[in-house]
Amino acid sequence: MLDFIIKRLLQVILVVFLALTAVFFLIRLSGDPTALFLPPDAPREQIEEYRELLGFNRPLQDQYADFMVNAVQGDFGESLRSQEDALQLVIDRLPATFQLAIAALILSLVIAIPLGVLSAYKRNSFFDRIGVGLTVLGQAVPNFWLGLILIFFFAAQLKLLPTGGGGTLVHLILPTITLATYSIARFTRFTRSSMLDILRKDYIRTAKASGVPTFPLVARFALKNSLIPIITLIALDLGTLLGGAVITEVVFAWPGIGRLLMQSLMNRDFPIVLAAVFIIALIYAIINFIADILYAYVNPQIRVK
Amino acid sequence: MKKNMFMLLAFSLVLLLSACTSGTAGDSSESSVDGNDPTSPKKDSLVVAYEADAATLMANIDVNYVTDAQIRNIYDPLIDRDGKTGDFVPVLAESWENVDEHTWKIQLKEGIKFHNGADFNAEAAKYSIDFILDEANQSFYRSRWVDVKEVKVISPTEIEIITSKPFPSLIQRIAEDLLVIEPGYVEEVGLDEAAKKPVGTGAYKFVEWSRDNYLKLEAFDEYWKGKPAIKSLEFRYIPEFSARLSAFLSGEVDLFKNIPVDSVDSITNDDHSKVAEVASARINYLALNNFYEGPLQDEKVRQAINYAVDVDELLNGVLNGHGTKMTGPLSQINNDYTETAEYGYDVEKAKALLKEAGHEPESLTLTLDTPNGRYPMDTQIAQAIASQLQRIGITVNVQTNEWGNHLEKIRNREMKDMFILGWGPAFDAQSTVENLFTKVAPYSGFYDEELEKEIYRVNQLFDEQERFDGFSDLQHKLVEKAAWVPLWQQSDLYAVRKDLKFTPRVDEKIQAYEMSWE
């Protein structure tokens, strides 16, 4: 087990390192940020002076080496625009992003699992077909479009909910629904197919034959077993929810990491972009690491292998 | 059974959602869904939406207009521009005087207090200028101020500014860049803290700043000009335009700037809303790049393009008339504006000039770079210009750039034949002409050795009439040489709650002190 954990931990480090390396070089392809910060009438000497001050005139590999050495010590530098600690700016946004991602995850599980179970149980019924159709739709609808439509109806027309912003639970409703739609669809389909597998098993037939009533049969015997593979899915999706929140956060003006990342990309505020990528990659890798451990814990086969 | 389960599910979803709302039901000021309720008591708060947060709340650092427009409600300048005419008006300054080419004296008002109770005086004025000049503060304004050698405190109500070179545009720099900060406060709490909890002499005091979310301010009742009519002021950040519009139409937001011209109707059609429009000091133009070795280095070709672009058609067809046509390098709002000859739309002349220059229009292929979304309808304008030039046979390839790339291509002089750009606020000739038509400035893509000498000569002139005549002459010459295709002054379009008394300023600033509810 210890070997397994160490191996997975090393993978976490590798993932974060590779993500940072890729993004470091990619954003530099977009060009030099100094042009965007100085007033347009800034003379060439001052642009050069800033490039030197910020180190953008040095060879790329030197910049990269410096960045990595500092990053390992938790220093991502200061925001180019506001001169505040980049990592701190990102960490300040973490709670908002988590709040949204977890709300979306809970909403998707609460809706998707019963829906998936019911679909499987009533396989090929009218309900099942509608359900499957809706899940396809749910996976196909783009986030930003759904978000705008929800804002239009519930906020602008009906005036029931705020259009955006953060702070209270009311602000959380529309972005949560928007963000959860995709996961609801995914979880429903997954639960359905996983349930279908289980329902075909001999022990279910035996239980059914020996007179176990429907509800306990489904809930206790079938569902429990079909949920094991869902753990991995939840972990993967929580990562996706945290990352996919970029667009939802922008549409709903939600003050989280995704929005900060988007804005910093537009402003070419490199230190913030890298700090945000670091945090997102780290969270993603850690969640998957935990999922692996949990999975091994619930499913001893993995450990043995 | 099927049906029951479904109903149960639907019910539990409703329950879940209502559970979320009930926790904050008492918090009606937050959800402000009541914005349009005519029975509510007289409103004294104002919510302004912006596309982005301020970078910092410290004055004199970030040149971005979004930052500047917000913090100008907290800090006062020494000198400001009149919101209608763009003329200089004293704010914390009482008067100013140019002693000689290197010396300026500024008299300051007395008895003005900062939000923390400290007195405004010459020390604060000096500190604010020194703040820009101090490299440690990394002010993005510094390059404009490097010619300031020293600021001397003569008395508590007078400072003297010594410049290393003649600096005739110093007053303009003071009006556009400089806000007054409280030295004692910054020294006491440190720069980082002062940048998060600002103290100024302005009409509004800092209350709360939630990054990327909102900035809340409240009226400073001891404000030296008198109590502000609007008691609480909030800036809310909504990056996506459609969401901003929805927030406005739902009553959450009372005011926002930059409505796309094709969304004006959705606001004028709303009973609680109106559109306020002003011709801003920001100008848009089609640059004809003579830094690039191509046909546009030839004056005749540039003139031909001036004849071939129908600005009226662009204005009416693409911008729905929201813009004010320009004919020369400066707009009418510019203090040094002179009326110049207009090329006008003349296809025949354009063709003839191209022939004179030795080009068959059909053999010409030009590139036109445009940003996407930086200026009103910029990409569409570029495409319309391309099709206008197509009419005389020129093939134009339109290249759309992300804004940062566009700017960088200009700065690195990688632009080819033509590009679209805006400039502003352009209130005086020097900051426009010097920064656009000299060799060191790539923003118009035009430079002429003789004209450049003339520009630098006129820049140094202190005599107002001589200076005005000099710039007037330059404007005529720039038109003759077809330095660019002038397009228009941008129209600043604001979405405004119907009962808000609001007059848009020519300098894009949003000063809540000047507003009130009917």
On whether residue A305 sits in a domain, the answer given is: no
Within 8 A by CB and 6+ apart from A144, the residues are: A247, A248, A250, A251, B240
End-to-end CA, chain B = 59
Peptide bond into A216 cis (omega under 30): no
Say yes or no for a CB contact (<8 Å) between A30 and B20: no
Residues B296, B431, single domain; the answer is yes
B431 in reach of chain A (CB within 8 A): yes
Residues B389, B463, single domain; the answer is yes
Residues B309, B258, single domain; the answer is no
Query: Is residue B131 a contact partner of residue B139, using CB atoms and an 8 Å limit?
Result: yes
The pLDDT assigned to B10 comes to 46
* B284 three-class SS: strand
Residues B307, B399, single domain; the answer is yes
Residues B37, B102, single domain; the answer is no
The pLDDT assigned to B319 comes to 95
Task: Assess whether pLDDT exceeds 60 at residue B38.
Answer: no
* A220 three-class SS: helix
On whether residue B343 sits in a domain, the answer given is: yes
The total of structural domains in chain A comes to 2
Say yes or no for a CB contact (<8 Å) between B440 and A172: no
State the CB neighbour count (10 A cutoff) for residue B296.
23
Say yes or no for a CB contact (<8 Å) between B211 and A39: no
Give tens-digit pLDDT for A145-183. 999 999 999 988 888 888 888 778 899 999 999 999 989
The pLDDT assigned to A219 comes to 79
Residues B298, B267, single domain; the answer is no
Say yes or no for a CB contact (<8 Å) between B62 and A81: yes
Residues B403, B296, single domain; the answer is yes
- Using alpha carbons only, how large is chain A's radius of gyration in Å? 24
Residues B405, B468, single domain; the answer is yes
ipTM of the complex: 0.82
- The domain containing residue A8 runs over which residues? 2-72
Q: Which single residue is written with the structure tokens 């379009």?
A: B493
Residues B286, B383, single domain; the answer is yes
Residues A171, A213, single domain; the answer is yes
Say yes or no for a CB contact (<8 Å) between A39 and B141: yes
Q: Among B250, B267, B291, B436, which would you mutate to test the A interface (most chain A Cβ atoms within 10 Å of its Cβ)?
A: B250
B184-210 in b/e form (b: 16+ CB < 10 A) is bbbeeeebeebbbebbbbbbbbbeebb
Q: Is the pTM of this model over 0.80?
A: yes
The pLDDT assigned to A304 comes to 53
d(C-alpha A139, C-alpha A127), whole Å: 18
Smallest CA–CA distance from A92 into chain B, residue: B211
Residues A20, A115, single domain; the answer is no
Number of DSSP helices (H) and strands (E) in chain B, helices first: 18, 19
- The domain containing residue B307 runs over which residues? 281-491
What are the chain B neighbours of A31 within 8 Å (beta carbons)? Answer: 404-405, 408
The lowest-confidence range among A45-54, B45-54, B325-334 is A45-54
Closest CA to A183 of A249, A102, A247, A286: A102
Give the CATH number, domain containing residue B389.
3.10.105.10
DSSP state of B115: T
Task: Assess whether pLDDT exceeds 50 at residue A87.
Answer: yes
What's the burial of A29, exposed, middle or buried (CB within 10 Å: 0-12/13-18/19+)?
exposed
The pLDDT assigned to A205 comes to 86
Task: Assess whether pLDDT exceeds 90 at residue A121.
Answer: no
Give tens-digit pLDDT for B257-301. 999 998 999 899 999 999 999 998 899 999 999 999 999 999 999
For the record, the structure tokens of A115 come out as 């829906």
Residues B47, B148, single domain; the answer is no
Count of CB pairs separated by less than 8 Å, A with B:
176
Task: Assess whether pLDDT exceeds 70 at residue B29.
Answer: no
pLDDT band at B223 (very low <50, low <70, confident <90, very high): very high
The pLDDT assigned to A17 comes to 94
B133 in reach of chain A (CB within 8 A): no
Say yes or no for a CB contact (<8 Å) between A163 and B423: no
Identify the helix (H) or strand (E) that includes residue B12: helix B2-22
What are the chain B neighbours of A32 within 8 Å (beta carbons)? Answer: 408
On whether residue A140 sits in a domain, the answer given is: yes
Chain A: give the shortest CA distance to residue B490, in Å.
18
d(C-alpha A23, C-alpha B133), whole Å: 35
Closest CA to A184 of A116, A282, A130: A116
pLDDT band at B21 (very low <50, low <70, confident <90, very high): very low
Say yes or no for a CB contact (<8 Å) between B21 and A170: yes
On whether residue A84 sits in a domain, the answer given is: no
Q: Among A36, A82, A107, A130, which would you mutate to test the B interface (most chain B Cβ atoms within 10 Å of its Cβ)?
A: A82
Beta strands B484-497 and B323-325: pairing type? Answer: antiparallel
On whether residue B349 sits in a domain, the answer given is: yes
The pLDDT assigned to B96 comes to 96
